[in-house]
Structure 1
Amino acid sequence: MIRMTSSSVFFLLLACFATCGSAATFTIRNNCGFTVWPAGIPNVGGTQLNPGGTWTVNVPAGTSGGRIWGRTGCSFSGGRGRCATGDCGGAYSCYLSGQPPATLAEFTIGGGSNHDYYDISVIDGYNLPMDFSCSTGAALRCRDSGCPDAYHQPNDPKTFSCNGNSNYQVTFCP
Structure 2
Amino acid sequence: MMSFRNISMYYFVCVAVHGITLADAATFSIQNNCPYTVWAAAAPGGGRQLDHGQVWDLNVSSGVGGARIWARTGCEFNESGQGKCQTGDCGGLLQCQGYGLPPNTLAEYTLNQFDGMDFFDISLVDGFNVPMEFSPTSGGCNRGIKCTSP
Normalising by structure 1, we get a TM-score of 0.69
Which one has more relative contact order, counting CA pairs under 8 Å at least 6 apart?
Answer: 2
Aligned CA distance change for structure 1 residues 112 and 22 (closer, same or farther; 3 Å): farther
1:56-98 CA-partner distances (Å, limit 9, x unpaired): 0111011100000000000000210000000001010001100
Aligned to 1:55: 56
Partners of 2:125 and 2:145 lie apart in 1 by: 16
Tell me, which stretches of 5 or more residues in structure 2 are unaligned?
Answer: 1-21
1:114 CA displacement: 2.2
Structure 1: distance between partners of 2:50 and 2:84: 16
Q: Distance in 2 between matches of 1:114 and 1:25?
A: 17
Contact map agreement 1:22 1:110 (CA 8 A) in 2: no
Instruction: Decide whether the 8 Å contact of 1:38 with 1:49 is kept in 2.
Output: yes
- 1:115 offset after TM fit, Å? 1.2
Partner SS state of residue 25, structure 1:
strand
The normalised TM-score by structure 2 is 0.80
Answer 1 or 2: which has greater helix percent. 1
RMSD: 1.1
**Deviation at residue 23 of structure 1 after TM alignment:** 1.1
Q: Which runs of 5+ in 1 are unaligned?
A: 1-19, 146-174
Could you list the structure 1 runs, at least 4 aligned residues long, displaced by more than 6 angstroms after superposition: none
Q: Which has the higher strand share?
A: 2
Identical aligned pairs, as a percentage? 49
